[in-house]
Chain A
């Protein structure tokens, strides 16, 4: 009998491609975000509000990831920005290699901000680095205040938490302070924004934060 020691990360190949993506983004001075949440938390709505906020003043491109359909890319295409739809055909997350292909098909050299909307899923996308600068996790208040504790990997790997649908708080027993406390207990470094796409609240603060990041590059 003999033992072969391997000691390699199972997601090593994905990590290597992600590293190459990141180098490419760095070289082109593009700030890249990976937007993650459970289905329906408002990722596409946030993209729409962000595009409305910038009104073309900053060149933005979007990569949409969905299990099926190009409905989200159709919503984004109305804003006349470069958009690609990645359909995963059942796979529950985006991988770095899909992003490198999708990015190659975006024919614009002037992009300053690229936002990737991941497949709606609070579990699987957490382990897959796409080459982004930050993961941004969206949690809508209708999902309840315990979610950061139930899905810690996502909140641990994110840098920003957008708490969405705060317009609905009066109708819910969700305690927003409890959401923040739980999220910060998992990841004390999280940057938090409270927003409502419907009421157009908090979008400016989020937009200003984005600006500091883009100008910084």
Chain B
């Protein structure tokens, strides 16, 4: 009885979901900002949907932990929470739906389209002056 086996992520010391997201965010910032400007990054704007599976406070904490040792030591993250919004094809209206269910809370129809609330997006970065 033998089978191949892999060991992944030996370098991850804190076993936290949001930490791996924070590492992704820093990688994306490295792609977006040239090295000589990185120290000027002041603010990171993120959007997290109410049902994205991300806990904003944990993500902010994870970023606070790793930003000081990254190329962006002065950066602070702002996580904008995006409500779960659906469009009901029966009522022909857009609504915020706080329970996260895919049924129109007004008319009970399940003919709905999810417009927002499941996303996690790196929106923009603000750079201060030299």
Contacts and interface: CB of A to CB of B under 8 A. Distances in A.
Contacts of B121: 7-10
Given A86-B8, A90-B12, A10 B28 contact: yes
A88 interface: yes
A105 B5 CA distance: 9
A67 B16 CA distance: 12
A85 interface: yes
Closest 7 CB pairs of A and B: A90-B15, A188-B110, A152-B100, A105-B4, A185-B101, A85-B5, A77-B1
A6 B10 contact: no
Nearest to A5: B124
A92 interface: yes
A186 B8 CA distance: 33
A129 to B, nearest CB: 13
A132 B108 CA distance: 31
A91 B15 contact: yes
A87 interface: yes
B6 A102 contact: yes
Nearest to A12: B28
B90 interface: no
Contact of B120 (A9, A91, A184, A188): A9
A12 B21 CA distance: 11
A86 B101 contact: no
Contacts of B103: 185, 188
A124 B53 contact: yes
Contacts of B65: none
Contacts of A98: 6, 8
